[in-house]
Structure 1
Amino acid sequence: MVKKKLISKEKLDEIKGFEEIMDLVIDEHEKLEVEKKQREAEKLNDSYLLYNFLEDEAHRLEKLSKFFDTKINNYKNFNQTSHILKKQDLQRKQIKKDLAEFQMSEYSPLNKHLEKLFNALF
């Protein structure tokens, strides 16, 4: 805050025209102090927001850790990888067999195109 000083009557008479300018200077000084206080309050708010973010992030990471721990335990206890691989291998072989049979048929698109190509050349 601005400290008020006692001014003699002689000096008051000398600065009579400058009273409004002095009020403006004092108002600017008070505005600067208010802005400074607002910045300090924002800093405190920013630190709270940062702390809150870090706390939420810690909780999120803790939940992820628990999730992956559960997933790893399930994987260790109930591993289905070999079963899934065998099943996919059988499916792949069946699809390959069906595709080969379809392409070997007389009316397959492959045979039709090869027939057109062969007839065009000879």
Structure 2
Amino acid sequence: MRSVASLAGMILCMTISQILLKMAGQHSSAHPGAVEGFMRNPWLWAALGASAGGIGCWLLTLRRLPLSVAYPWTALIYVLTPLAGAALFAEALTGRYAFGMALILAGVVLTSRSVTRS
């Protein structure tokens, strides 16, 4: 159960990190210059913190699960991040994009069922 929680934590942290990086980019475009745009960019620092949290969760996951079992689930980041982008930033998702996300989900299901835990 802990491995599932740490894996879910990694996926969530890395998705949040991508959203925060988008916000950091918006902040830096509104605040030109290295100091205001990057060094004093709260979104950038939050994104780095979320990434660090994701790495920590990933390390905990790999302590308990084989890489071949855990790694396919990381593809969920490629589904959750665009959905969050659409919800938070009104980014458009086309039918082709939705089809691609469905293929990613199918791949996660197929690969997770084809690997045995050791």
* Short-chain TM bin: under 0.3
Q: TM-score, normalised by structure 1?
A: 0.25
Kindly indicate whether structure 1 or structure 2 has the higher relative contact order, using CA contacts under 8 Å at least 6 residues apart.
2
